[in-house]
Amino acid sequence: MRLWGGRFSKDPNELALRFSQSLPFDQRLAECDIEGSIAHARMLGKCRIITREEARRLEAGLERIRAGLAAGEVKLDLSSEDIHTEVERLLFEQVGALAGKLHTARSRNDQVALDLRLYLREEIDQIRQEVRDLQQVLVDLAERHLGAPMPGYTHTQLAQPVLLSQHLMAYFWMFQRDRDRLADCRRRVNLCPLGAAALGGTSFPIDPAFVAKLLGFDGLCPNSMDAVSDRDFLIEFLADAAVAMSHLSQLANEIVLWSTTDFGFIHLDDAWCTGSSIMPQKRNPDPAELVRGKSGRTYGHLLASLTVLKGLPLTYNRDLQEDKEALFDTLDTLRPCLNVMREMLATAAFDTERMEAAAGRGFSTATEVADYLVRKGTPFREAHAIVGQIVRYCEKQGVTFGDLSLTEWRSFSKEFGEDTLQIISPLGAIEAKRSPGGTAPERVKEQLEKARRALES
């Protein structure tokens, strides 16, 4: 069955037909197509464009198709051109020639835009919940390990000691921004394009606001030409998904590093590791590595979709069919990655003793020593140079800050006193970072309070 063909003298070339079919991938829009068609049928009946009885019969037929698909009793014919054609074909089987009235005052152009918005709206709601579930795991871990120090890094070099909780909460706020971005994107998704028809609207006395209300939209797309060609909402989602995947990739990379023998900061449950075909001792963090790797495909879909839209004239062009596979694969990538990361972290164990030992290496409290001198009145640049000299001295002697006598400290600056030893411990350095958002325990507790409120909102 085709929804067109009256002006053609021959059937489409078989290769061209197969090349242009979208049902193999847009069949996942079936539920949304049926939902939108039911709302459209009700509107046609309400506006007396068809009789109320005809509208009732169309709705009943669509409901039977929906139930049959859900039960596996109705099978799609993959030779159909697209999901809209196939639903209409199935409706003809249910209600006969009346099915042909369903398309009154509607085009596939506004129909597919409607389906995409309905579909993406639901997916965004589910993704935001899945992001929240991952955030909850991060909060639980941060609360469980509050007070446990670890090394913080810049340039992948040991920098300053921080709390493990502070490190975990950094990812919480990344994912909070992802949730916020998705919520903002949803506002632009949640506008109804139905009523735009092919591009210029329709001469039938329709009530698109009625359809929008039935389907839970916030309002109508204000311009019919823009309504059928707009894919900004889809691009925005792909961009938001790419950012979220970049955050997941960062976290996955740290898990990969932390689980190495050299770091030994985290022990992944056996259920989240794989082995080697030749090395019996291996425990490979493959799920984390795959999350890290899969970020690239979401970036690719974003760029590909932007390229499809580049320079397209108004309004609908068949190029827009390319939007769906990019969207569907991005969804099929992002959601499993969120769930895998959540479960992998929830079952992981942190070696806090090893982390604390690492936090004290590499003169990680050097900044605190410089700040100590500044509080004694030494200009920071001079204090920075003095501490640099102390580090060089320790490296030559093969000792650490903790090995130096007070006499040795005072040989570099007379400002050093008995309290010097209090500032060179990792915990002492951590407790001193009391600025807002800092790693001091009381500040991390404040973050956790904010995080709990954010999760409840």
Whether 211 is in a domain gets the answer: no
Same domain, residue pair 368 and 414: yes
Query: What does the CA dihedral 413, 417, 422, 426 come to, rounded to 10 degrees?
Result: 10
Strands (E), 270-351: 349-350
Same domain, residue pair 342 and 404: no
Same domain, residue pair 446 and 363: yes
- Half-sphere exposure of residue 210: CA atoms within 13 angstroms, side-chain side: 13
Same domain, residue pair 120 and 265: yes
Q: How high is the pLDDT of residue 3?
A: 66
Q: How high is the pLDDT of residue 13?
A: 75
Same domain, residue pair 297 and 374: no
> What phi and psi, each to the nearest 5 degrees, are found at residue 70?
-65, -35
- Kindly report, residue by residue over 222-246, the tens digit of the pLDDT: 999 999 999 999 999 999 999 999 9
Q: Helices in 190-231 by DSSP H: which ranges?
A: 208-214, 224-229
Same domain, residue pair 329 and 222: yes
Angle, helices 441-456/164-189, rounded to nearest 10 degrees: 30
> What phi and psi, each to the nearest 5 degrees, are found at residue 152?
-100, 150
Same domain, residue pair 252 and 294: yes
CATH number at residue 57: 1.10.275.10
Q: How high is the pLDDT of residue 422?
A: 80
- As a whole number, mean pLDDT of residues 324-352 equals 98
pLDDT at residue 4 tops 90: no
Q: Where among 293, 328, 357 does a domain terminate?
A: 357
Note down the domain range covering 267.
109-201+217-357
Whether 411 is in a domain gets the answer: yes
- As a whole number, mean pLDDT of residues 206-212 equals 98
Q: How far apart are CA 22 and CA 31, in angstroms?
A: 16
Q: How high is the pLDDT of residue 19?
A: 77
- Catalytic entry in 165, 246, 249, 276: 276
Q: How does residue 337 score in pLDDT terms, banded at 50, 70 and 90?
A: very high
Whether 2 is in a domain gets the answer: no
Q: How does residue 12 score in pLDDT terms, banded at 50, 70 and 90?
A: confident
- As a whole number, mean pLDDT of residues 74-81 equals 92
Whether 240 is in a domain gets the answer: yes
Note every long-range contact of 299-302, with CB atoms under 8 Å and residues 24 or more positions apart, other chains counting. 299/242, 299/245, 301/238, 301/242, 301/326, 301/327, 301/329, 301/330, 302/235, 302/238, 302/239, 302/241, 302/242, 302/326, 302/330
This prediction has a pTM of: 0.93
- Kindly report, residue by residue over 86-123, the tens digit of the pLDDT: 999 999 999 999 999 999 999 999 999 999 999 999 99
Distance, CA of 17 to chain centre: 35
Whether 71 is in a domain gets the answer: yes
Same domain, residue pair 30 and 158: no
Same domain, residue pair 83 and 167: no
- Kindly report, residue by residue over 165-203, the tens digit of the pLDDT: 999 999 999 999 999 999 999 999 999 999 999 999 999
- Kindly report, residue by residue over 16-49, the tens digit of the pLDDT: 777 778 899 999 999 999 999 999 999 999 999 9
Which bin fits 260, alpha (ψ -120 to 50), beta or left (φ > 0)? beta
79 assigned to active site:
no
Q: How far apart are CA 240 and CA 128, in angstroms?
A: 11
Q: How many domains does the chain have?
A: 3
- Catalytic entry in 155, 405, 435, 457: 155
Residue (of 305, 303, 332, 331) closest to 320 by Cα position: 305
CATH number at residue 225: 1.20.200.10
Same domain, residue pair 384 and 347: no
Query: In what helix (H) or strand (E) does residue 169 lie, and over which residues does it extend?
Result: helix 164-189
| β-strand partners of 158 | 153
Q: How far apart are CA 93 and CA 61, in angstroms?
A: 9
Q: Where among 104, 127, 146 does a domain terminate?
A: 104
Whether 206 is in a domain gets the answer: no
259 assigned to active site:
no
Q: How far apart, in Å, are the Cα atoms of 138 and each of 118, 271, 293, 341?
A: 31, 20, 22, 10
Same domain, residue pair 180 and 276: yes
Q: How far apart are CA 298 and CA 247, in angstroms?
A: 12
Residue (of 424, 422, 421) closest to 359 by Cα position: 424
User: Cis ω on the peptide bond leading into residue 315 (within 30° of 0)?
Assistant: yes
- Kindly report, residue by residue over 254-274, the tens digit of the pLDDT: 999 999 999 999 999 999 999
CATH number at residue 398: 1.10.40.30
Same domain, residue pair 290 and 365: no
Query: What does the CA dihedral 133, 138, 144, 145 come to, rounded to 10 degrees?
Result: 170
Q: How far apart are CA 116 and CA 102, in angstroms?
A: 19
Q: Where among 302, 336, 357 does a domain terminate?
A: 357
Whether 21 is in a domain gets the answer: yes
Q: How far apart, in Å, are the Cα atoms of 197 and each of 114, 150, 314?
A: 11, 60, 14
Whether 3 is in a domain gets the answer: no
pLDDT at residue 309 tops 60: yes
Strands (E), 117-273: 149-154, 157-163, 191-192, 219-220, 266-267
> What phi and psi, each to the nearest 5 degrees, are found at residue 138?
-65, -40
- Kindly report, residue by residue over 347-391, the tens digit of the pLDDT: 999 999 999 999 999 899 999 999 999 999 999 999 999 999 999
